[in-house]
Structures are given as C-alpha cells and as structure tokens.
Amino acid sequence: MRLDRFICKSTNYTRVEAKELIDSGRVTVNHVTDIHEAYQVHENNEITLDGMSLSLRPSRYIMLHKPAGFLSSNADGRYPSLFNLLDIADVDNLHLAGRLDRDTTGLVLITDDGRWTFNLISPDKNCEKRYRVGLRNDITSEAITALESGLKINGFTHMTKPAKVEVVHSKEVLLTITEGKYHQVKRMFQALNNKVVKLHRESIGKIELNIPEGEWRYLAESEVAL
C-alpha cells in the first residue's frame, strides 16, 4: 500500500494533507524519514506520525443497488456519481470493485480494500458475475452454444471464457461470466448479431443483490470472505 493511502486509512487526513505530512518529515517508516508519498508500506512496518504509531482502520465493504443514470465514478460528470447515494464519511477513500455502465443497473461493490478488489475482478480468480440480460431478438440455440463455448469479440486477442446461460424466456437470459472486459456482455451479444436492451447485475461470487434500487448496506463477514 502507498504510504499516503496508509495515512488516509489510519487518520482523517486527506491524500493532499498526507503528502504534506510526509514531505515535512513528520512521518517515519521503520524510523526512516527519507520517504515519499508513493513509498510502499506493509502490515509489519512501524509507521509513526509525530512519534505516534499508526494502525489501519478496519476496511469497509459495501453493497449498492445501482439505478440507471448514475456513473461508476468517484466524481460527477454529465451524469451523477453513484457515490452520491452513500451517506457515509470518507467516501473519497473508497473505490469500486467492478464498474457498471451508466444505463446498467444492479449490484455494485464498494470498498477500500485493494487486495479484496483484486480477488474479485482478476480473471485468474474466476469470480462469477451473473447478469439478467434483456435482448432485442430471440436467443437461439446456436448463440447459447457459442456463449457456453467461448467466442471472439472484436478488439480482443483471446476468446471469451465459457459462460453459463439460463434462458428465462426467448428475449431474456441469465448470463454468468468470470471476466469483466470493457462492455463485455453487450459485445458478446453484438458478436452474435443481437443487441442488449436491458442489463442488470444480480450477483458477484456468492454475494447476491438483495436490497431495493438506490439503497446500500455493509456486507456481512460471511459475504466478505471469498
């Protein structure tokens, strides 16, 4: 973890203020002051501020039910950031463990634990994400076979990993994937000459979305454990 991030997670200082503390020599790592804000620190390091030892606050793990029209971003743009839906302190220290498009709804996970995020979004971890997909055209048996076998998406070198497909009705399927490429679900169906008209993420790993749209809650310990 970066030193400035460690300070933010163990105090109420902002990233800018943390850099000022480091630059002024008020912070030590293992009794060394010749350090900078990007200096990498570890759990067993002794880190002090003005001679007082610092320790990390417990990490936060949040489920949010994203409505359409919100950006998966920490800042507002043309549309509002979904972080506006959180009424908690120190929102700037949180990040998204996997984004959704502006028009996509459903489960978003938010945390300040980078290692946990990596285990969720890294393709090598094979964490399953289930989407409810509304389609313009009927799903065909050939399309299901292609999805379950892996298919080539324009712009990507490798074929997609095999997906799981459950047909709800002719124009709606539950699609489970273990990757998270840019616009992947939409581009998978585009490659099959179909179009996604509605997209909703229902689960990530064993975490199931179970709160109303626009609301959020902290995850239980059993949900955090991957």
Contact 27, 33 (CB under 8 A): yes
Q: Which residues of 114-140 are buried (b: 16+ CB within 10 A; e: fewer)?
A: eebbeebbeeeeebebbbbbebeeebe
Q: Which of 11, 113, 4 is nearest to 55 (CA)?
A: 11
Catalytic residue among 34, 76, 90, 101: 101
**Cβ neighbours of 209 (radius 10 Å):** 20
* DSSP secondary structure, 141-154, as one string: HHHHHHHHH----T
- Residue 176 burial by Cβ neighbours in a 10 Å radius (0-12, 13-18, 19+): middle
Rounded to whole angstroms, the Cα distance separating 80 from 29 reads 39
Active site residue 23: no
Rounded to whole angstroms, the Cα distance separating 133 from 171 reads 8
Catalytic residues: 101
